[in-house]
Amino acid sequence: MDDLLAARSQMAMSLAFHIIFAAIGIAMPLLMIIAEGKWLRSKDEIYLTLAQRWAKGTAILFAVGAVSGTVLSFELGLLWPGFMGYAGSIIGMPFSLEGFAFFTEAIFLGIYLYGWKRVPPRAHLFAGVMVAVSGALSGIFVVIANAWMNAPTGFRLTDGKPVDIDPIAAMLNPAAFSQTLHMTLAAYAATGFAVAGIHAFMLRRDRTNRFHRAALAIALLVGGVSAILQPLSGDSLAKSVARTQPVKLAAFEGHFQTEQGASLRIGGIEIPYLLSILAYGDPNAVVKGLNDFPAADRPPVAIVHIAFQIMVACGVAMMLVALWAAWRYLRGRRNQKWLESKWFLRLLIIAAPLGFIAVETGWVVTEVGRQPWIINGVMRTSEAVTPMPGLIVPFLTFTVLYIFLAVITVFLLLRQVAASPKDPEPKPQEARVAA
């Protein structure tokens, strides 16, 4: 393994690990404040217990995400000094704002975890809202920086060096809105479906358990709504990619020949004109093929194409499950029977990992699809890597570290799930203190 491949592999492995915790950090706080809000309105102790349980899980995942995120920030500077030296002054602002959002999230998460009996109920709920908002903003600022790598703006090149730098224009690059929207919805969908799958598994053992029924309903609400909205954000992102990275769009579809009225090919099915419609909103639009680009400027087509197909398949499956769940809810909400079908619960268990599979493959599409560029059309990845030799050693070292962290995290979360109450009884003393 040469040093460039080792550096890319280490960054890919670090990002693949961290993005799970980043997505959960965006979405999990929303679940816990919905549960707490329902407790404040209904005084049903089920929701109080649920909010407290989810808060503990969020704290565990936040801690691991903080470690993996810190490693990523060091890797960015140590493995890719050429990139940071070139782009640091252009995209330093979103990284700085991400740090501010991260510390805000940490502060209010501390208040939320330790303030149950120490601050007024509405102040406590506000702390939870701040955790949710700052967690989402933290993810958005990082994705904005990545979007700039796909569609670099906010500077002018003179003798190969960036001048007239405008950090605001860089943050408002053409890919920023569609990419941040798509990733944020993906985080909510992936986390919602994963949590719903866990509680569906527990409900199959005890169909009348109110704790797991309440948890499943909230998780499915967040995950289902996001999954239904996700195709709209995907359409916006596809149009952005068509404008800013046409070679990546061609790699998505394995599209080699330039074609007017291009067909969409997915899962072995060809749908006439659909690619032109998705990319440009015009059934007769011309879509460039890979053969129109130099071979040295094309990404690895097989990897990008397969990853894109998996991502789309997972997204469509989640959307269909969400629509079925909505239909079941509308039919059975009056008698509360909509969650009692064993086949429905089994389907939710099967669908539980689909969101995170889609997130991982989506980032493969984003990053591998930009190759051979680290800054699209400006700097090649090979120009940005550190000249330090022996990069296989840190790659293997950090791989072992991430495996260790994954084992510890799974162990702690399994303890949390195993400790879930069968059907918690009201706690009058706690309710009076909190009220």
- pLDDT tens-digit series, residues 125-153: 999 999 999 999 998 999 999 999 999 99
For position 336, what pLDDT does the model report? 60
Arithmetic mean of pLDDT over the chain: 84
For position 430, what pLDDT does the model report? 42
For position 420, what pLDDT does the model report? 59
Is residue 59 pLDDT above 60, yes or no? Answer: yes
Is residue 432 pLDDT above 60, yes or no? Answer: no
Domain that holds residue 22: 3-434
Q: What is the mean pLDDT of residues 350-367?
A: 92
Q: What is the mean pLDDT of residues 290-305?
A: 90
For position 189, what pLDDT does the model report? 94
- What are 235-291's pLDDT values in tens digits? 888 888 888 888 998 888 888 888 888 888 776 777 888 888 888 888 888 888 888
**Coil, helix or strand for 380?**
strand
Q: Which residues contact 362 (CB under 8 A, 6 or more apart)?
A: 182, 183, 186, 307, 311
- Highest-scoring range by mean pLDDT, 196-200, 253-257, 395-399: 196-200
Q: Are 151 and 245 in contact (CB under 8 A)?
A: yes
Q: Into how many domains does the chain fold?
A: 1
b/e per residue, 52-61, with b = 16+ CB within 10 A?
bbbbbbbebb
Is residue 234 pLDDT above 80, yes or no? Answer: yes
The two three-digit tokens of residue 82, written as one number? 């050429």
162, β-bridge pairs: 157
pTM: 0.88
Q: What is the mean pLDDT of residues 29-54?
A: 88
* Between residues 358 and 77, the one the model is more confident about: 358
Q: Which residues contact 191 (CB under 8 A, 6 or more apart)?
A: 23, 24, 26, 27, 28, 31, 219, 222, 223, 355
